[in-house]
Structure 1
C-alpha cells in the first residue's frame, strides 16, 4: 500500500509539473471555475445559478422549483432564450423547456420550424437547401429523478449558451435550435433532491452505508405513480410523456440527448451501444452518425482524462426509450450514462466519486454534442430528409398495404389505441366498408385503417410487427411490444388497399354511450364489455346504489322490437329495492353513458324472453370494492404504482397503499380486496401473516401476481404448484460439456424472459372472463414463473396454449415449460378467494387488454364459487 501511495504521489507531481491537470473525481469542486471552459468569457448581465439560487450546482441537489426559478431568470435576461411551459405533472409541477438560439433565429422562429418540418415531408424536402438550415437538438435531462447529475448540469448548459461570448458560440447558436428540457421527471427529481439534501452532513459522508446514499422505498427514480418515464416515449400514458412527445413532433429534432446515471463503480457511457442488439428497423446510417458524434464525446473527455466506454452494456432495441425513439423517427438518439454518486459523494472502486464530477461530465458531453452537430450539420439534416423518403418508399413497396384493427365490443379500448397512434402523428382512417380477412371480421364504424404508404411507415411497422426471430437473445428491455396485442384488439395485415373512410384528424373524441329506452321504471342493464364499465359500476356502488351481476346469459325484448342477448357479466341496477333515490340513479346512469362510454338499457320488466329472469338467484349481489395494495419494502414499486394508477386515474376508485409493516396493526375488515404484486414478502412479521390469513378465511379476496404467488403458496394461502425446471439439473450419468467462459453471461441471459407476448385461453363463462368476447387472449410475460393448472378443472380460468408464442423472444427450454401451463389459478381459503396470476396484467399502463382481468378479480372475486386449486 505504501509503495502504491508513493507511486501515485509521484505521478500526480509529474502531471502537475508537466502542465497536465490530474482529474481525480474526489478533487472535483462545486464552483463555476471547475465546470466552465477556461477559455470562455461570459456576459455579466446573465445571472449565474449562484446569483439566482444562492448556491453553485453540486453544493446541494437542485429542487425542481429552483430549476424553474433559474430557467425563468435566464429567459428574462437573455435574448437567446425563450421559456415554454408545456404541461403539468401529476403533482402539479410545471413541465418546461427553453428554446435557445441566436436572436436573429428567434425573430424567425416559426418560419424556421415550418421549414424544418418540411424536411420530413418527402413531397417538399427536395426543394430545401440543407446547407442553410439550422440543426435542431433536444437536450433532455434526468428522466430518472434519482439520476440528478443531468438536471443539475442543465443549469450550466443554460447559463453557458445564454452567456458565453465569442465567435464560436455565436456561430453555434446561429446554426442551431437547442430545445433544453431541464427535468424530464420533475416529481421524481424533487423527491430525490429532498432525500439527498435532508440527509447531507456538513462534513460530507461518502460511506456507501450512509442513509443519504440509500433511498427509502420507492426511490426518486420514477414519477408520482412510480412509473419509469424512460419506458413511456412510445406508450405516452403519462402527462410528462404526452407533453414531451408533442414537443418532439412540433420540432422533429435531429439529435436528442438523454442524460442518465448508472452504478457508482462504473465510469461514463455514450452511444452507440451493442450493435448486435440494435433493432433491425434502425438504419446503418443512424448508427454511423451516432458513432461519428461519439468521437466528439471521446475528444472532450480525453482532454479531461475522464474514463468512459461505448458499444457495451446498452442497446438500441426497444423504441420506447429516449435514446431510441428518435432512431425510428428520423433523428439520432444518444444515451449518456454517468456513474452515480447518488448523493453528494460516495466511495467507488475509482476512489471517492463526488457529485460535482458527475455534473461536469454531463455538461461536457452536452457541449460535445453541440460541437458535433455543427460539424455534421448538413450530413444529419440530409439523413433526416432521406429517412422519411426511404420510409415512405419502403411503405409503398411493402407486402402489407395496410393494417386494419378495431372491435365493436369496446369502443373505449379502440379509442385509446387510436389516441396513441395520433400522438405519434400516424395517418389513419375510419374503415369505410365491412371486411373479412384471415378469419377476422371488421365493421365500418368500429374499425380503422393504417395505410403503409406514408412517411411514418417504419414506426408503424415497429408498432404492429410480430417478431419471433432475433440475431441476439439478450435485451436491455422488452423484446416485443406489438401494440394491438397489448390492447387486445383484433388486427390484420392486408395485402391490398381497403376502402378508407374519413381521415382521423387530431386526437379523437371519447366515444359516448347512450341510455337505450330512456328512463326506466324497473331496472337498468349494461354489459361489461366496455373498458370503463368498472368505473360506472364503482360510481354507482359508491353512491349506495345496489347492483348485481349476471352469472348466466339471458335475452330480452327491447322497446323498439329488437331482441338482445345479454352476456355473462351483465350488470343490473334494479330500481327496487333501493335506498338511493330513483332520480339520482338515473343521473348516475346518464353519467355512465356520457363519461364512461357505456350503453345502458332501461327495462320495464324483469321477465326475459330466454334465459334467467332479472330476479333470478343467478344474479350475484355486488359489494363496493374496498382495495388495499400492500406497499413498501419487498414489493415492486413499479407494479404497486401500476395498480395505484389504474384504480386512481382511470377508474376513479379509492385505493389504500397499505405498508406491509402496518398489516398487523391495521383493521383489515375495512377492505374486501387486497393486492400483493410481484415482490418478496419474507420480511412480513408472523403477526401480519396471521392477520392476512384470518382476513382471507373470513371472506377477503387476495390477488397475487408473479413472485408474490411464491409467498402465498408458502403461507398456505394459495393452493398452487409450479413447474420445476429441468434445465438447471443434471443427471449423474450425464457429462458436463465445457463451455467458453466468455459466453457465460450470454448463455445465462438467453434463459431470461425480458418481455414477450403469448397466447392464452380464457374461460368466458368464469367471473374473471366477464366482458371478453374472444377466448384467445394475448398476455405479456417477463418472468420464468411457470404455474401448473389446478387439479380442480374449474379453477384455471386462463392458461397458455400449447404453442403460445405470439411475439418476442423466449428460449426453447422456457417455451416447452410454459406451454399449456396456468396463467391464473383460483384457490379458496376458508370463505375467501386467492387469485394467483403468473403475469402482470397492468404492465406499464398500456396493456389495456388484460386490465379487465385485474378489474374482474377486484369486482367479481367475491362471486367466484368455491373451487379449490391444487
Structure 2
C-alpha cells in the first residue's frame, strides 16, 4: 500500500479537524502557550517563555531579528542546556546564530563529543566507535527564505521547550542528542518581510488575499541582501550566510538536517521523502528508506493535531545545492518541510482561513517529531553515516584533474569551495595528459575519488545527460569546472598525487618593470575588470587592443592577445608616475593581475601602442532597471557582480522612475530578465541612437526584438503536433518536460570579438534555463557566441529543443544609430557561481561601445 494513504485517521476526519482548527483562529490574534507546547510536562520558571520576553505571543506579530537574537542570548545566558555562537554576519551586518542544545553533562564535554562524532566520517577511525553509546546530532534550520516566516517564528518555541521542559522524556532526548538550532538562516530577507507585514497589520485582522499586508512589495523578503535565494547556495557558498553556516556543518557532520520552508497558501504541509525517481543517483537508496521511516513520526504528530499533509510529490532531492539535499551526499538525512503560508497574520485559503499561529504550530510540531525520530533511530542513523563513509568509490573515474594556466583566480575559488567541503585536493606530482588534455604540475590539481567525500566530489564534478525522470524541481546540471570554465579531465586510472593542499593562498599578481611610457595588462584574469575600473576611477585613460601584438617588456618580449589593456603613462595628463606604479602594485596583489612595463611604443610584431587599433575604453556608468515585473534573482546577480567583484557603482531604478528621469548621465542600460511593457520605448530608442549601450538578458530579449532595437527574431519552440490522444494525467508531466530547468550547453566563441576578449579557447560552456532561441542572423560578424551543432554538455533537454537550439546565436551585438544593442539569450551570472561566463557580461559593459566602431582614425587618405 502507498505510504501516503496508510494513515491511522481517515482523510475525511483529518480534513474536518483541519478546517475546524483553522476556523477557530478567525476571531482572534493571540493563542495560549498550550496551543503550541506539550502540556504533559512541567517547565522551568527560570527560563522566560517567548511571550514573557517579547511582550506578545508567538504568532501575534512577526518577530524582528533583533528580538530573536535577544531571546536566544537570554535563554543561553540562563540555561545550562544551551550554548550560543555567532557564526557570521550578513551583508547588512546582522548576526547569524547557532545554538548547541544538549544535557548539561554533554555540553560540559561538547568538544570531545564533537571530535568523537567526527570520526564517523573518517573510515580509518570509525570502525572502533561504539555507536550505541554516542549521541545523535540533529541540525534544525529555519526560514532560509525570509518571507517563509513560520519556521523562524517556531524557533523560539523549540529553544524554549528544549531549555525549559522537565521530566524523564526531555532528559532522555537531551542525553542522547546534540541539537543544533539555526533560528533564522536569512536575517536580511526575514527582517524585510517582518517589517512589511507588521507595518501593514490591522488591529482587526484582514484575511482578504488582496490585502496589502499579504502582498509585499518587490523584491520581497524571500531573498538575501543582493536578492539571492540562499537555499541554492549550500554547495557553492558564494554568500556570507552560507560560508559561515557550512563551516559549522562540517565541524559537526549532523545525522539529520531539517529545512523549514513555506509554500503556496492553497496547499497543506509537505515533508520528505520527495518524488523517489528524482533523487540524485549518487544518494544511496538507504537514504530514502530512512527518510520514509522518519516521516512516520511526522505523520503521527500531525495526525494528532488534525493537520493535513502530503509526501512523495511536488519536491525532489536532485540538486545538491539545496539545504535538504546537500546533506544526502554526506551520510546525513536532509528533511524538507513545506508549510502552506499565511503570508501575514491571517489569510483566506481554499482550505479556510489560515492563521499565522496555525502555520507556526505545524513547524513546531514537526520539530518535536524530528527529535522523537532521532531518539528512536539514533544508533541506526549513526551506523548509516559510518557505513556511508566506509564505502569505496564504485565508478570507473578514479580522479578529477583540473587547472587553468591563464586565470588562477577561478582555480583558487574552485579549491576554496572543495576544501570547505572537506574534499581532499592535491597538487600534481608530474605533468599529466587526461582525456587528451595536458595538465602541468605547476598549475594543476587532483581530486582523487579514493577519499571519504568521494560522493560529494562526484556530485560537484560530474556531467550527466541521462535521467530517470525528465522533470526537475531545480536545475539538472551544475558541474563546477564547466561553471568556472576551468579545463579538467576525468582520469580512469589512478593519478600520482603530489602535496596535499593544507592552505589556499590567493594568487597575487606582480608588476614587471618600471616605465614612464606605458603599462600593459591582459584581460584573462577574473578581476581584470575590477582593476580597469579602479584605474578609470582614478583618472587614468585606458585603451584596449583590438588586434594581437608582441610587446617589449623587461627582460625581453611577450605576446599579447585581443583585449589587452594599455595604460598610457607619459601622455595620460597625470605626472605622478611613481603613484601609478604604487597603485599597480596594490592592484596586482588585490586582483591577481600581472602588469607589464612597456618602455617603448614600438612593437616587434603586430600593432604598435599608439595604433588606432588600440580603442579608447569608456568608463562604465551603468543603469539597471529594477522593480515590479523584474526577476529579483537575475537583477540581484548583476548587482552583486558589479558591486562586490568589480567595485563598480550601479544605479538601480524602477520603470516608472526611468520613464520620467533623464538618462544622459548613463552610458550603459541593463535589462535583466523581466517584463518591460511599461517601459517608454521611444525614450530608450533615442538614448541608444545617441550612443548608449543597451544590454538585454534572457526574458528581456523578446522585448528588445519586438521594438526593433535589435534585428534578432525569436525562434518558435517545437509544439506537440502528434494527433494521437494522450492521457490527461500525463499533461503536466509532458509540459514540464519541455522546459529547460537548467542545463549546460557548449557554444562556439569568437575570441576576436570584444564580447569574447579574455577567452583563449574557441568553445565555452554556458548555462541555460529558458527556451529562448534566436533565428540565425544574416551578418556573420555580429554573433560572437553560437550554440554548437551538438550543444548539450550536461543536464536535460528534449530532442526537439536541442534540434531547435543547435547552430543558433546565443549572443548578438548590433548597432542602433550611434549606440549598440547586445542581447544574451542565457544568464551569464547565474547564482554568482557561474564564474566562467561573467566575463561575457562584463565585456558587454566595458567594451560594448567598441563593437562595430566604424572607421578608425588614420584610415582616411
Q: Does 1:589 align with 2:589?
A: no
Q: TM-score, normalised by structure 1?
A: 0.95
Q: Does 1:573 align with 2:567?
A: yes
What displacement does 1:277 show? 0.7
What displacement does 1:824 show? 0.2
Aligned residue number for residue 761 of structure 1:
748
Q: Quick one: which of 476, 486, 493 aligns to 1:489?
A: 486
Aligned residue number for residue 409 of structure 2:
412
SS of aligned partner of 1:682: coil
Aligned residue number for residue 857 of structure 2:
none
What displacement does 1:689 show? 2.2
Aligned residue number for residue 64 of structure 1:
65
What displacement does 1:717 show? 1.1
Contact 2:255–2:331, Cα closer than 8 Å, also in 1 = yes
Aligned residue number for residue 548 of structure 2:
553
Is the deviation greater in 308-317 or in 552-561?
552-561
Deviations 1:510-532 (A, max 9, x none): 10011112x21210000000000
- Whole-angstrom distance in 2 between the partners of 1:40 and 1:784: 57
- Whole-angstrom distance in 2 between the partners of 1:858 and 1:22: 55
Aligned residue number for residue 3 of structure 2:
none
Contact 1:23–1:305, Cα closer than 8 Å, also in 2 = no
Aligned residue number for residue 6 of structure 2:
none
Contact 1:400–1:493, Cα closer than 8 Å, also in 2 = yes
Aligned residue number for residue 509 of structure 1:
505
Give the 4+ runs in structure 1 shifted more than 4 A: 20-23
Aligned residue number for residue 737 of structure 1:
724
SS of aligned partner of 2:375: helix
Aligned residue number for residue 521 of structure 1:
516
What displacement does 1:22 show? 8.0
- Whole-angstrom distance in 1 between the partners of 2:668 and 2:427: 41
What displacement does 1:345 show? 0.4
Deviations 1:724-776 (A, max 9, x none): 23425x4xxxx721001111111111101000000000001000110001111
- Structure 1 regions of 5+ residues with no counterpart? 1-10
- Whole-angstrom distance in 2 between the partners of 1:159 and 1:577: 70
Q: Does 1:613 align with 2:608?
A: yes
- Whole-angstrom distance in 2 between the partners of 1:557 and 1:575: 16
What displacement does 1:866 show? 5.4
RMSD over aligned Cα, in angstroms?
A: 1.5
Q: Does 1:658 align with 2:653?
A: yes
- Whole-angstrom distance in 2 between the partners of 1:579 and 1:153: 63
Contact 1:145–1:221, Cα closer than 8 Å, also in 2 = yes
Q: How many residues align?
A: 837
- Whole-angstrom distance in 1 between the partners of 2:510 and 2:554: 15
Contact 2:516–2:577, Cα closer than 8 Å, also in 1 = no
Contact 1:23–1:306, Cα closer than 8 Å, also in 2 = no
- Whole-angstrom distance in 2 between the partners of 1:606 and 1:31: 81
Aligned residue number for residue 774 of structure 1:
761
Distance 1:130 1:763, change over 3 A: same
Distance 1:715 1:21, change over 3 A: closer
Aligned residue number for residue 7 of structure 1:
none
- Whole-angstrom distance in 2 between the partners of 1:420 and 1:319: 14
Distance 1:719 1:866, change over 3 A: farther
* Aligned positions of 1:82-161 closer than 5 A: 82-161=83-162
Deviations 1:210-256 (A, max 9, x none): 00000110000000000000000011000000011101000000000
Aligned residue number for residue 39 of structure 2:
38
- Structure 2 regions of 5+ residues with no counterpart? 1-9, 855-861
What displacement does 1:182 show? 0.2
Aligned residue number for residue 7 of structure 2:
none
Contact 2:688–2:820, Cα closer than 8 Å, also in 1 = yes
Deviations 1:244-293 (A, max 9, x none): 11010000000000000000010000000101111111111111110000
What displacement does 1:634 show? 1.4
Aligned residue number for residue 625 of structure 1:
620
Aligned residue number for residue 197 of structure 1:
198
- Whole-angstrom distance in 1 between the partners of 2:19 and 2:555: 87
- Whole-angstrom distance in 1 between the partners of 2:662 and 2:515: 40
Is the deviation greater in 669-678 or in 495-504?
495-504
Q: Quick one: which of 665, 685, 694 aligns to 1:693?
A: 685
Q: Does 1:815 align with 2:815?
A: no
- Whole-angstrom distance in 1 between the partners of 2:715 and 2:595: 44
Deviations 1:473-499 (A, max 9, x none): 000000111110000011001122223
- Whole-angstrom distance in 2 between the partners of 1:587 and 1:639: 37
Q: Does 1:167 align with 2:164?
A: no
Contact 1:640–1:677, Cα closer than 8 Å, also in 2 = yes
Q: Quick one: which of 727, 739, 748 aligns to 2:719?
A: 727
* Aligned positions of 1:392-403 closer than 5 A: 393-394=392-393, 397-403=394-400
Aligned residue number for residue 307 of structure 1:
308
Aligned residue number for residue 421 of structure 1:
418
- Whole-angstrom distance in 2 between the partners of 1:622 and 1:113: 55
What displacement does 1:469 show? 0.4
- Whole-angstrom distance in 2 between the partners of 1:789 and 1:666: 36
What displacement does 1:400 show? 1.6
Distance 1:21 1:480, change over 3 A: closer
- Whole-angstrom distance in 1 between the partners of 2:170 and 2:243: 32
* Aligned positions of 1:792-831 closer than 5 A: 792-831=779-818
Aligned residue number for residue 276 of structure 1:
277
SS of aligned partner of 2:773: coil
- Whole-angstrom distance in 1 between the partners of 2:642 and 2:499: 34
Deviations 1:640-687 (A, max 9, x none): 000000000111111111211111222211111111011111122xxx
* Aligned positions of 1:845-860 closer than 5 A: 845-860=832-847
Deviations 1:535-590 (A, max 9, x none): 000000001111100000000233213x3110000000011222333233222211
Contact 2:717–2:771, Cα closer than 8 Å, also in 1 = no
What displacement does 1:23 show? 5.0
- Whole-angstrom distance in 1 between the partners of 2:523 and 2:441: 22
* Aligned positions of 1:288-687 closer than 5 A: 288-390=289-391, 393-394=392-393, 397-506=394-503, 508-517=504-513, 519-561=514-556, 563-580=557-574, 581-684=576-679
SS of aligned partner of 1:261: strand
